[in-house]
Structure 1
Amino acid sequence: MKKAVVKAYAKINLILDVLGKRPDGYHEVEMIMQAISLYDRITIKPGNGISITTNHPLIPLDERNLAYQAAEVLIKEYPDIPGVEINIEKNIPMEAGLAGGSTDAAAVLIGMNAMFSLKMDNIELLERGAQLGSDVPFCILGATALAKGRGEIIEEVAQCPKLWVVLVKPNFGVKTKEVYQNLMLSSISSHPDLAGYLDALQVGDVPYLLNKIANVLEYSTFKLYPQVKELKEALKALGAKSLLMSGSGPTIYALFASQEAADTFASDVRKGCTYQVWVAHTLNKEILNERVEIS
């Protein structure tokens, strides 16, 4: 009996800009998203119906889980699939701005496509991912990408050179919906230079890539959760020069050109706080092409 094991990689936002509110209630965004090496391990086996097991006590095991919804989409579309058993080995923190739920859903789509030989191409997978959530299409495509619309319109861009990422997450989660609802567009004093960042990716200008990361959702999250702003200021005081909140937060990441610098900074952070700390690195397309194992 076949099974699929998929590495479901986390993401960070190198650029996150909000352009306005759409008639459908969502916000119009432009983002440069980047896959990183922190991942959940998703194991999928044939079964009856849909069942989920996990090592994390707070993950829902029913249709509230995006991974469950992803399986449901494909089972409805392909009636020959009797069902699946999904195990989620959770390493990406929940409600952290790292697409932990979205990447698990993407992994289920990718894994079921491979395991059941559905022969869906990337465009077909992206269409189904967009039904589930704004970040799911990026998590299917991975590497470095430009996201527009509500985040579901994805375009591959020049890959980011290998950079090292220190992730620091406070001991609470943030609801994305709340952050967007409280975002006052008039309070955004400056917007990221998206075109400049895309140019820097094209030529591999590492100093620019480190110095010009930007996320306008900080305006909202910092107001709702002042301790996230305090965390960013504390990390800056420890010597990090390239700091940003990922997504809607509360995770703050520091970006480095070398593993040595990242490891040293992570060690300093761990000495001074009780928050969760991870060291990861950016991923390229070649690694992502090898994320599925069928046995």
Structure 2
Amino acid sequence: MVEYKAYGKVNLGLDIIGRRDDGYHMVKMIMQSVDIYDTLSFEKIEEVSGDSKNQCDAAGKPEIKIIATNDPDLSLGEDNLIYKACRILMDKYCIKDGVLIKLTKNIPIAAGMAGGSSDCAAALKGMNKLFDLHLTEEELREIGVTLGADVPYCIAGGTMISEGIGEVLTELPDIPDLTFLIAKPVFGISTKEAYGDFDAIPEEDIVHPDIDGMAEAIRNSDICGIVDRLGNVLEDASIPKHQEIEEIKNIMKENGALNALMSGSGPTVFGIFTDETVDEGTGNGETLSGKEKAWRTVQILQEKEYISDLFTVGAVKKSDIDK
């Protein structure tokens, strides 16, 4: 058996710079893995007792059986990216054995955190290891982009500039230690909906984030330079329909977040907190940690009926990503 963690992500910056003839949007983003993850375990399905053939599905292909250990309502059929990742490797490399996958789901669905893409990336890596395919990360990325634009990044993880449709990656240094408070509203926003609404915005009304400046700030470990440049052009598409996103951002900033932003196509919002020395006139400054400030904000956000999930986590380093 092999096991992989599939980490969620936030977009520290998301810009759309054009559109290809095939309809795909050209992006320039800074992606960051965060310590919210699904867990996937992989086992070969053994031969049926007394039968020389391996376990097969109705079409006569090796079986792919996916079990969600904590979400029985999750769709796990042929439309699921985990299934698609397994099937594409089985077909490409003539794998004859079936596979049993157990999924423990923690990343919110339809949240702009690449939960499905991250599970897909973990499936590619899990199959690669389970069946000794010896594919390189670059080879896995090339397969991954055929399944989803965020999959190549999710295979790599860490802190990355993502360009093209998401498949052109440039590694950045790990960001400084920061606390992320992540809030997922009860509603979802489809990627198709968000990008469609963005396309209706006049170009002169779009404020493009400074992705290059943020990348330089990350290289210099400049926290202020990072948080001051948080930006996501899809906010202008999603917030007019969902004012709760703006309210969450404001609550976070009013309660100690250095800045806050919607991640991806939304609706998830994250705030960035760091340690702070508070001096109430006594001359003896008290250090308030980023985690403490984030937890105080959690108590306020918990009272909002339109929020379904809250997480206080750190960033994930590239070296922590399962290979």
Q: TM-score, normalised by structure 2?
A: 0.85
Aligned partners of 2:3 and 2:126 also within 8 Å: yes
Partner residue of 2:36 out of 24, 35, 38: 38
2:316 alignment partner, one of 280, 283, 294? 283
Alignment partners' CA distance in 2, 1:254 and 1:285: 21
Structure 1 unaligned residues grouped into runs of 5+: none
Q: Aligned pairs, how many?
A: 288
AA in 2 matched with 1:42: L
1:86 equivalent to 2:101? Answer yes
The question of 1:266 aligning with 2:287 is answered no
Partner Cα distance (1:188, 1:111) in 2? 44
The structure with the largest alpha-carbon Rg is 2
Q: Does 1:105 align with 2:120?
A: yes
Identity %: 38
Query: Does residue 195 of the first structure (1) align with residue 195 of the second (2)?
Result: no
Aligned to 2:66: 52
Moved more, 188-197 or 62-71: 188-197
**1:239 Cα deviation after fit:** 4.3
Flag the structure with higher helix content: 1
Change (3 A) 1:160 1:136: same
Root-mean-square deviation (Å): 1.7
1:235, CA displacement in angstroms?
3.4
Partner Cα separation in structure 2 for residue 185 and residue 128 of structure 1: 35
Letter in 2 for 1:168: A
Larger RCO: 1 or 2 (CA < 8 Å, sep 6+)? 1
Is 2:209–2:232's contact at 8 Å kept on the other side of the alignment?
Answer: yes
Question: What residue identity is the alignment partner of 2:18?
Answer: G
Q: Distance in 2 between matches of 1:282 and 1:7?
A: 14
- Per the TM alignment, residue 185 of structure 1 is displaced from its structure 2 partner at its CA by 4.9
2:250 to 233, 243, 267: 233
Q: Secondary structure at the match of 1:69?
A: helix
Q: Find the counterpart in structure 2 of residue 74 from structure 1.
A: 89
Q: In structure 1, what is the Cα distance between the partners aligned to 2:138 and 2:38?
A: 24
Shift of 1:273: 4.8
The unaligned stretches of length 5 or more in structure 2 are: 46-54, 56-62, 275-289
- When residues 241 and 204 of structure 1 are mapped into structure 2, their CA distance, relative to the original with a 3 A threshold, is closer
